[in-house]
Structures are given as structure tokens and as C-alpha cells.
Structure 1
Amino acid sequence: MATNILTISNPNFENECKKIHDSFEDFNQLIPFLTSRTQHERQQIRETYKAIYGEDFRSLLQKYESGFSPMTYSALSMLILDPHERDAIVSMEALEQDVTNFKVLVEIFVGRKSSHILLIKQAYQKLFRRQLDQDIINLEPPHPYQKILVALSTSHKSHHVDVSQHIAKCDARRLYETGEGGRGAIEEAVVLEILSKRSIPQLKLTISSYKHIYGHAYSKSLKRGNYGEFEKALKMMVKCISDPPNHYAKILYTSIKGATSQKATLVQVLVSRAEVDMDEIQRLFKKKYGKELIDVICESIPCGDYKDFLVSLAARTTSTVLLQK
């Protein structure tokens, strides 16, 4: 029944899936076919293709693999996934790197709703037969980011939906007293308790209250006194929560200008933020670096299908997505 409803309500997807399937040697049409769609539409395309041909759309991509560069093929494969599947794979890859990419994990835990975090954990277990939380805890050698990630994971399980100005002010004062307003190094236990008990919106309000009460951002206070690895990790998390567009504008620029190993981060940001705040990210990107995001991509990435993919993906804006919802 679900298949019939899908086919009736989205006849163009059926026609386009057949066209793509029957002419898979025409590599050039696949990039605009996928990047011009919203996440919801790509999910419907994937379902429609499976209903028609009995196989996942990713199987079709394997036929295209030889026609694309490895980076483009990998990017297209990630693009077609459901968001929670993609985040599960990204999390696993971050954990499996020689040097764990804690920043990507933090971005996921602070940038997704609790319902989505649950789906990520379920997908992670299904794909890799392991528990994401346990894999984070078991990392060796121990790292301050682990404590923060465990606390954030706990907050997603237990927090209240509503935010409270009173709680935000109280937590801001506690952060001050255990940090720049206290003596010596920051009290990690107090910070981790707050992180584990508050939702991301509540933490964002706390960070805002801190600046309102004390006249400067909480992240700036972390530079003072005994600034260690925990404070460094906490500062990254705070910036990601308090000002995501600015955070991701910096990430995009670094990824474009950085080594080849950083290009995967570029795709992750473009895909994960495309329907969230990419308009604002691109506005801040131009303000910070004096050029449009697409122009920097064109200047920095060699010509080829990967460049075409990035330009096409970056061209999508939040306003376009909102119109289609």
C-alpha cells in the first residue's frame, strides 16, 4: 500500500528513477539529479527505486562508481542515506581514525534533536553491531572530549523539553563560580553535571545568559587561568552550541583550503546543514572571508566531477528548502 501511495503522489520520481536506471552510463546527470533535491525527496527517490527494482538506490551508485572520482562516489553515497544512517557512519569513521575526530562527534551530539540522536544510536548498532556510547567510553587513551560526549549523550536521554530562564541564570552563575570567578582550574564535575542534565536549547540559553550577566562570552573565560585540554574541548563545544553558522563557516573554509583528508568534512557540513542554516552560514562566510562560498570552492577545488558536486550542493539554500516543505 505504501508503495502505491508513493508512486501516485510522486510520479516524476518513478519516471526519473527509470531514466537513471536505464542510462546509468550517463554519469553527468546523476549529480544534479541528487543534489537538486531536498533530503525528504532523496528519501522518496530511494524508496521509489527500491519499489520498482527491488534493490537499494546505493546499489545503482555502484554501477556509476567507475565513472566518478573516489571522493565524488563516496559523497554521493553519503548524500542518498537517511540522516541518521549518515550520522551513524560519520560517527564510526570519526572513532576509527588514527586520531579520533572528536569535533565531528561533538557537532553531531549538539546539532541534532534528541529523537535523531536515538535513531543514530539505533542505526549505529544495526550497522556495526556495537553501541555508540560504549565505543566512545572505550576509546584509548582517555581524552577530555570523552567526558563531554558522555555528558551530552546523557542529556539527550533525560532532559526536559521546555527551557527556563531561571535555570539558565543559575547555571551561568555556577559556571562563573567554578571558572573565572573561582580559584584555580575549572571544576570539571560541575560543568559535566550541567551538560548531562540540560537540553541543547537550555545550554544555549545558559551561554547567552552568561554573556548578558558577565559582559563577555563564556568561551572567552575559558582562555583565562589554567587553560588545559578540558577547557579547549569545552570551548569548541560552547562555540558550536552558541553560534553554529559562524562555527561551520570556519569549518568550511578550513576544509576547502586544507589537505585532501579534510574534504570529507566539507561534504558532511554541506549535507548536514543544507536544510538547517546554510543561508546564514554562507552569509557569514562571505563576511569573514570576503568571497562567496561557491567562488572559493571554484578557486580551490580542481575541475572535475567532485567540484561539480560541491558547487551544485552549495547552490541549494534554506529558502528553497522551506518553500518545498
Structure 2
Amino acid sequence: MGYLHYHPPQVPHTMASKYPSSLNSSDREKDCKEIHDSWGRLNQLGHGLAHRSRSQLQQVRETYKAMYGEDLVDCIQRAKGVDSKNEICMVLSLWLCEPHERDAIVAKDAMAQGDTKYRALVEIYVGRKSSQLLLMQQAYRARFKKHLDQEISILEPPTSTQKMLVALATSHRAHHVDVNQHVAKCDAKRLYESGEGRAGSASIYESTVLEILSKRSIQQLKLTFSTYKRIYGHDYTKSLKKGTSGEFEDSLRAIVKCMYTPAKYYAKMLHSGIKGTTMDKSALGRIIVSRAEVDMKEIQDVYQKKYGMKLYDAICESIPEGDYRDFLLALITRLPSSSSTS
């Protein structure tokens, strides 16, 4: 893997990525030996792993367990003993996990932290296909012996975000229909009439939103929000700012932005994480790990346009030099894999 001191490469984004689908046995064993000998040199370990494809990472993890009798993720988790290693070990272990396994771990952490990290759950329920969410829930149940949907539904005290997550979970279990323009138009009209064109009460508005979230697929909801903009001339989230913004509106705004304009949502979350203005201290690493194989190029473009600085430079400027920063830089400069999925 070549664990030399990391100097982030300036790779043009137009270059195609060429990750072999698999490693031969000698390469896998060599990688694992270098990993086993790299404890204490997390910079070198992280750089090598950052530039492996998803299939290669899985092969390395399986080979490491066969050679040394331990799961590589568990080994990295145990290395978190020193405070300065907490962040790098967290992102390294998440990167090695399969996406559904990673989501399960992130979801459990979000449940433990409470409302400060509710957006991690929003990102999972909004950003995954129903098949992916099912795999995550199975991984959650296998690892933690609990049902995530049930844990969310009994949270105390109940919050607006909790209600919306329960609705989205219901939608993922129930919907099996294609997107429909007529349904989108009707839903957009209902949202308008119960919201900014409100004739009813706040409770009617909330019940309308929750009903639509629980009955429509993510793709159908995206069509509804684009239809809303076409009919009423502005994004649906603009309407949430026109009146007095409360907890329900704040939660709904985050869900809609993550669903409808994900690159903008993640760029803003990364900026807050870099500047330290979010209560969710793990947001920066979590988002870079989860989006590195999905839409990191688009997020970086939005970030530069919105904040007038490259994401790479913002991380260098604000995050202390060390293993954690180097690994984040390695992930955002990696070439996209052709097998990446959202």
C-alpha cells in the first residue's frame, strides 16, 4: 500500500478512477502485514486505506481477520485509548465498514447523543434507498440487539424530528409505487394551503406534513418539492422562513434540504463542522466518510461557490495538523470509484 508520509495529491477531477475490483492474495497479505505493523503510525495507515475501493477494503478486512484472528474495525476501535487518536480512529473504522454497517454504528451513536446529533439520523433515513435502509436496520439489530425504528418511536421527550423520522420509516416500509406528477401537484398544493397559504391551524399543517412524509417515497417527495417551486415560484424551504420558525419548521427544513438539495445541505454541514459552530462534533468526519464515494466532487464545487474557498483549503486552515486532518484530505482528494453508490 506504500505507507509513506502523506502529501495530498492534487489530482484533476476529470481523471478517471481505475480501482481494480479485487486484489490478489499476495497483495492482500502484504497490505494486512503493513497494517498490522502500522499501529502507532495512523497517518500512514489512513493514507493507504483512503485510496482503496470498497471491494478492496472488504477483501483487506477479511484477510486481516484470517491472518490475525481479529476484525480490523475492532482493532482500530481499541486504539482510541489516547484522546488525540479518537477522531482518526473513529473515521478510519467507519471508512472500513460496509455502508449499511457504518450507518448502523452512526445511528446508534446518534441515539446515544440525543438531539445534538439528530441530523445523522436524518441523513440516513432521507439519503438511503429502502433496500439500503433495510440492510442498515438488520445490521443495527444484529449488532445492538434492538430495533432502531422502535427506539426512535419511544424517544422521550418526543420531538418534531422524531415524529418526522417515524413518518419516513413508515414510508420506507410501505411505498412501492413509481413517481406520479399528479400526486406531486396535489401534495404541493396541500403543503401550500396548510403552510404559507394557511387557512387552518398549525396542528393541521403538521399533520399534513407528517401524512405526506409517511406515504410518499423519497423520489416522490423530491418531485413534490420541485413541483412546489414551479407552481409557487420559490423553494419550499423559503416558505418555512416566512412565519415564526419553530422546532417543527427547523426540523422540516433540514429534512427537505437534505432530500432536495443534498450537495448544498452537506456543504453547509461541513462548513459548520470545520468552523466548530455545530453541536454535532462528529459531523465533519461522518459526512466526508459517507459522501466520499457518492458526491464529494459536487459537494466541493458547491462549497467553493458558497464560501469562496476550496474545501481542501478550509480543512487545512481550520483543522489542526495531524492524522485526522490528513485522512480527511486523503478522502476528499481520492478519485471516485466507478462502483460508488448513494
**TM-score calculated relative to the size of structure 2:** 0.85
State the Cα deviation string for residues 249-281 of structure 1 (Å, max 9, x = none): 000011011069644110110011111111000
Contact 2:141 2:148 in 1 (8 A): yes
Q: 2:15 aligns to what?
A: none
CA distance 1:309–1:138, change in 2 (3 Å): same
Tell me which of 302, 327, 330 is aligned to 1:284.
302
Contact 1:222 1:231 in 2 (8 A): yes
User: Which sits farther off after the overlay, 189-198 or 11-20?
Assistant: 11-20
Contact 2:117 2:280 in 1 (8 A): no
Q: 2:133 aligns to what?
A: 117
Q: CA deviation at 1:286?
A: 0.5
Question: What residue ranges of structure 2 are gaps of 5+ in the alignment?
Answer: 1-20
Q: CA deviation at 1:188?
A: 1.5
Q: 1:251 aligns to what?
A: 269
Tell me which of 160, 168, 171 is aligned to 2:176.
160
State the Cα deviation string for residues 186-206 of structure 1 (Å, max 9, x = none): 522221111111111110111
1:276 and 1:119 map into 2 onto residues whose CA distance is 18
CA distance 1:81–1:251, change in 2 (3 Å): same
CA distance 1:53–1:161, change in 2 (3 Å): farther
CA distance 1:165–1:146, change in 2 (3 Å): same
Report the secondary structure of 2:167's partner residue. helix
Question: What residue ranges of structure 1 are gaps of 5+ in the alignment?
Answer: 1-5
Tell me which of 111, 120, 126 is aligned to 1:104.
120
Tell me which of 273, 287, 309 is aligned to 1:269.
287
Residue 29 (str. 1) matches residue 47 (str. 2): no
User: Which sits farther off after the overlay, 257-266 or 228-237?
Assistant: 257-266
Relative contact order higher in (CA < 8 Å, ≥ 6 apart):
2
Q: CA deviation at 1:309?
A: 1.4
Tell me which of 216, 220, 224 is aligned to 1:206.
224
Contact 1:27 1:64 in 2 (8 A): no
CA distance 1:27–1:148, change in 2 (3 Å): closer
1:306 and 1:8 map into 2 onto residues whose CA distance is 27
User: Which sits farther off after the overlay, 150-159 or 82-91?
Assistant: 82-91
Report the secondary structure of 1:163's partner residue. coil
1:181 and 1:65 map into 2 onto residues whose CA distance is 52
Q: CA deviation at 1:241?
A: 0.8
RMSD, matched Cα: 2.4
Q: CA deviation at 1:222?
A: 1.7
Report the secondary structure of 1:142's partner residue. coil
2:321 and 2:99 map into 1 onto residues whose CA distance is 28
Number of residue equivalences: 318
Q: 1:141 aligns to what?
A: 157
Give 1:1-325 correspondences, 5 Å limit: 11-22=26-37, 24=39, 26-61=41-76, 69-97=85-113, 99-183=115-199, 184-185=201-202, 187-225=205-243, 227-258=245-276, 262-317=280-335, 320-322=336-338
Q: CA deviation at 1:213?
A: 0.9
State the Cα deviation string for residues 171-223 of structure 1 (Å, max 9, x = none): 11121122122324352222111111111111011100000011111111122
2:308 and 2:116 map into 1 onto residues whose CA distance is 32
Higher helix residue share: 1
CA distance 1:160–1:10, change in 2 (3 Å): farther
1:191 and 1:146 map into 2 onto residues whose CA distance is 13
Contact 1:24 1:63 in 2 (8 A): no
CA distance 1:7–1:39, change in 2 (3 Å): closer
User: Which sits farther off after the overlay, 259-268 or 71-80?
Assistant: 259-268
Q: CA deviation at 1:322?
A: 2.3
Letter in 2 for 1:51: A
CA distance 1:228–1:65, change in 2 (3 Å): closer
Q: CA deviation at 1:78?
A: 1.8
CA distance 1:311–1:85, change in 2 (3 Å): same
Q: CA deviation at 1:7?
A: 8.2
Contact 1:245 1:284 in 2 (8 A): yes
1:324 and 1:196 map into 2 onto residues whose CA distance is 28
